[in-house]
Amino acid sequence: MKIGKFIAVAVLIAGAATMVSAADGATIYKRCVVCHGKSAEKVPPGGSIISATLPAEEIKKSLKLYKTDKGHGGKMKASMQVQVKPLTDEDIDTVADYIFKNFHIAK
Ligand code: HEC
């Protein structure tokens, strides 16, 4: 019985730890839906690439460059610079992996 109780407590702690950890990919991606579509399947307004066709590494690289390199991107880069501003590098990796894992379209 003691073991059962221990496991129940361990599960509770694990659950609580998950809740306070960084936002998950689905939560972060909600911010992107309006322009990129539910499954990253749309060309964003003024953009030219469907994010779902990109490898995860490309998505990460591009998002990080929007943060650090003012010259990165196309004519609509300002709209992405605003988007990535509140995201940590960890958030970026998480959301890029989420997009790739769930929505990837092979070209
Ligand atoms: C306000 C609309 C808008 C929102 C919200 C938005 N994007 Fe974008 N995104 C764009 C536009 C427009 C471009 C093309 C920018 C350019 O010209 O460089 C773009 C470009 C990108 C690119 C570069 C490659 C490509 O697909 O064109 C990636 C990757 C990307 N967005 C991911 C995201 C992610 C992830 C989020 C959510 C955190 C997000 N975007 C939120 C409009 C948006």
Assess whether the C-beta atom of 94 lies below 6 angstroms from ligand 1. no
Residue 103 alpha carbon to ligand 1 centre in Å: 15
Q: What is the pTM of this model?
A: 0.85
For the CA of 84, the nearest atom of ligand 1: 38
pLDDT band at 97 (very low <50, low <70, confident <90, very high): very high
Question: Which atom of ligand 1 is closest in space to residue 48's alpha carbon?
Answer: 27
CB 46 within 8 A of CB 75: yes
Domains and CATH numbers, the chain: 23-103 (1.10.760.10)
Residue owning the nearest CA to atom 3 of ligand 1: 35
Does residue 103 contact residue 31 with C-beta atoms inside 8 Å? Answer: no
Q: What digits encode the pLDDT tens for the residues 98-107?
A: 999 999 998 7
Average confidence (pLDDT) over 70-86: 97
Question: Each residue of 35-76: pLDDT tens digit?
Answer: 999 999 999 999 999 999 999 999 999 999 999 999 999 999
Residue 33 has pLDDT above 90, yes or no: yes
Contact (Cβ atoms closer than 8 angstroms) between residue 104 and residue 68 = no
